[in-house]
Structure 1
Amino acid sequence: MIDLFANSPVARITLLIALFAVVVFLAFVGLNAIAQRRTVRAGLKEISTTETQESSTASLRARERETAWSQLAKMIESSGLNLTDTKDQRLREKMVQAGYTSPSAPRIFTLVRLLMIFLLPGIYLLIVLTRPDPPGFLTIYIVGSILGLMGLYLPNLFITAKADRRREQIVNGFPDCLDLMLVCIEAGLGIEAAMDRVGREMVRSHPLVSKLIQVTVLQLRAGATREEAFRKLADMASVDEIRSFSTLLIQSDKLGTSIASTLRTYAAEMREKRRMRAEEKAHRLPVLISIPLVVFMLPTMIGVMMLPASIRMVREIFPMMIGG
């Protein structure tokens, strides 16, 4: 047996993969046990608080829209593998910021990370073992470890990038939403009717902002108070500008001030912030352009300027120096 592992690279690779799988399995079982204890403690804590009301108010439509990924996550959890993250609330907020509002989104995210850890090294091993001359064991081990780390962190990078793009789209489209809402309110519509009209008008131009407004209108029509609906709007958007806007609307509604003047002032502030962001990006362009200029154009210019002098030195100066 020892001679087989010593002479056969495929046997050595198979043994190392088996050892790696055993170590990962034992580590995952230990982490899973710790996560289950934390989940039980968090569940007991939630029972004594009022946060359990959110689970009871889940809509039937959200329960019906279960994707194949959520069903796969439930099947895996039913087999005894817990996909709940130790920082579940923070992960849920991150998924909402990226636009994934499904209750099963954190579990699907954890499942995708687990699959990517084994999928990327597995694909690499399949490609390597089919070659006539496979690389050495150390190369396979290092590349497989790097691919495993990439599979662990690539989903995080994807979610972060998507959350940033979503936040940018919402911030850029919200001033237009405020302008249209201001026109509707000054025309005599109420806040609910104005939001409904603006949500239907902005479906194509700013779909994310339109979705947020329409969800808020549906919550108002379902019987939620304005304060609850506006706070949920801020939570769904996860953008500082919309949180400030929701706070302004709640204060205007409680104090009885004019909503039109509030919208006009805040719309002007958001437009000014958008203009300042555009100016900031414009001022960054010369610095960003200087990098390719220095890297690509400066060596070419130096070469063109120094070429005649170099040719003259080779033809005249160097022969004189060596006595030719």
Structure 2
Amino acid sequence: MLEQILASDVLRLALLIGVFVVVVIASFAVMVYYNRQNAVRGELKKMQDEVAFAGATMPSHDRDSRSAWTTMVDAIERAGLHLGDTKDVRLREKMISAGYSSPSAPRIYTLVRLALVFLLPGIYLAVALTRPEPPGFLSLYLFGSILGLLGLFLPSLFVQAKADRRRELVVNGFPDALDLMLVCMEAGLGVEAALDRVAREIVTSHPLVASLLGTAVLRLRAGSTREEAFRHMADAAGVDEIRSFTTLLIQSDKLGTSVSSTLRVYAEEMREKRRMRAEEKAHRLPVLISIPLVVFMLPTMIGVVMLPAGIRMVRDIFPIMAGG
């Protein structure tokens, strides 16, 4: 029976489609069963929030700003598939460090991973089975599994790369913001006014740093304490230098020391670190250049040097050795 199915292209295609459908349905059922408790917790939390904010209406611009991704995620969760993660706090921090500050960003990230896990193998199966000579069952299973794993890890790699790029931009732009902040505070401005002024000045050159400082200013104006606003700014940046900076500001505010002297010392340290990073990249250039030099130029140089000697040996030495 199995040999007849494998010998017929139609039966083999039907078997593969049936196996794929069974795996999809089984995976969906397992995820629904596993996430049932998380869905119940989410509903209870939503009910608590609705009770806590009873009588408050959502502004029209907030309702209009709901993206299509958020609407899709809400519809899928209402259908019974909970897209929350067991490590939701860490995932939330990871998404914020990559620049996705929306509350629905972790759920959209989970949805994209699930979609790619099934979409990439499905596309491969559709393309492979339409060929005149479709590949064997083992090849389909092997490449489908590889594409499924690739779809599982591609969003994570993309988010990590974006977070690293954003962290690099913040680190490179923060020393300039510190210098401007030092100038503003030495001119007589307070911490909040200096942050606001610097955020408006560097909005073109360093938009990420300006966004972090502007968010901290808005939190201060909304009634948050300096410690809360600065801690939130450090968590949103995800950079050790900004965490150290916020710690210095909080300690200076608690102990009553001069913020200007603290900023001056820390700005010098940040400039020194930036200079050391630039020197490190400069010292890495000879090593990086040696790789294409060895791979591409060295064989060519060896060929140019050895070619005349090789021709001379073929013309003169080899006939003499052969007794000619």
Q: How many Å apart are 1:145 and its aligned residue? A: 1.8
Instruction: Give the match's secondary structure for 2:99.
Output: coil
Q: 1:63 to 1:171 in 2, by over 3 A?
A: farther
- Alpha-carbon offset, residue 225 of structure 1: 1.1
Name the aligned partner's letter for residue 165 of structure 1.
R
What's the CA shift for 1:65?
3.0
1:132 CA displacement: 3.2
The match for 1:84 is 84
| 8 Å CA contact retained: 1:35, 1:85 | no
- Equivalent residue pairs, number: 315
Aligned: 1:65 with 2:99: no
Structure 1: segments with no counterpart, 5+ residues: 47-51
Superposed counterparts of 1:230-241, under 5 Å: 230-241=230-241
Relative distance call for 1:92 and 1:64 in structure 2 (3 A) is: farther
Query: Contact 2:97/2:237 (CA < 8 Å) preserved in 1?
Result: yes
- Where does residue 223 of structure 1 map in the other structure? 223
Corresponding position of 1:169: 169
How far apart, CA to CA, are the structure 2 residues paired with 1:8 and 1:288?
Answer: 54
CA distance in 1, matches of 2:273, 2:63: 39
Give the structure 2 partner of residue 257 of structure 1.
Answer: 257
Question: Retained in 2: the 8 A contact 1:35–1:86?
Answer: no
Q: What residue is the counterpart of 1:11 in the other structure?
A: 11
Q: CA deviation at 1:30?
A: 2.5
Q: Which digits, 9 at most, give the CA deviation of each residue in 1:191-249, with x for residues without a partner?
A: 11111111111111001000001111111111111111111111111111111111110
Distance 1:302 1:6 in 2: 54
Tell me which residue corresponds to 1:321. Answer: 321
Following superposition, the deviation at residue 18 of structure 1 comes to 2.5
Tell me if structure 2 keeps the 8 A contact 1:113–1:155: yes
1:75 aligns with 2:75: yes
Q: Note if contact 1:62-1:102 (Cα within 8 Å) is conserved in structure 2.
A: no
C-alpha contact 1:98 1:163 (8 A) present in aligned 2: yes
* 1:267 aligned partner: 267
Tell me the residue number matched to 2:282.
282
**Aligned mates of 1:132, 1:38 — CA distance in 2:** 47
Q: Displacement of 1:171 after TM fit?
A: 0.5
> Would the alpha carbon gap of residues 88 and 43 (structure 1) be closer, same or farther in structure 2, given more than 3 Å must change?
farther
* Aligned 1:1-324 pairs, distance under 5 A: 5-37=5-37, 65-324=65-324
Query: Following the alignment from structure 1 to structure 2, what is the Cα–Cα distance between the partners of residues 275 and 64?
Result: 45
Q: Secondary structure at the match of 2:231?
A: helix
TM-score by length of 2: 0.89
Contact 2:117–2:152 (CA<8 Å) still a contact in 1?
Answer: yes
Query: After TM superposition, where is structure 1 displaced by more than 4 Å over at least 4 residues in a row?
Result: 1-4, 38-44, 59-64
Evaluate the alpha carbon distance shift between residue 42 and residue 87 of structure 1 in structure 2; reply closer, same or farther with a 3 A threshold. Answer: farther
* Ranges in structure 2 where 5+ consecutive residues have no aligned partner: none
Query: How far does the alpha carbon of each residue in 1:147-199 deviate from its partner, in whole angstroms, 9 at most, with x for none?
Result: 11111110000000000001000000000000011111111111111111111
CA RMSD of aligned residues (A): 2.5
Q: Which residue of 2 aligns with 1:49?
A: none
> TM-score under structure 1 normalisation?
0.89
Displacement of 1:111: 0.3
Structure 2 counterpart of 1:308, one-letter code: P
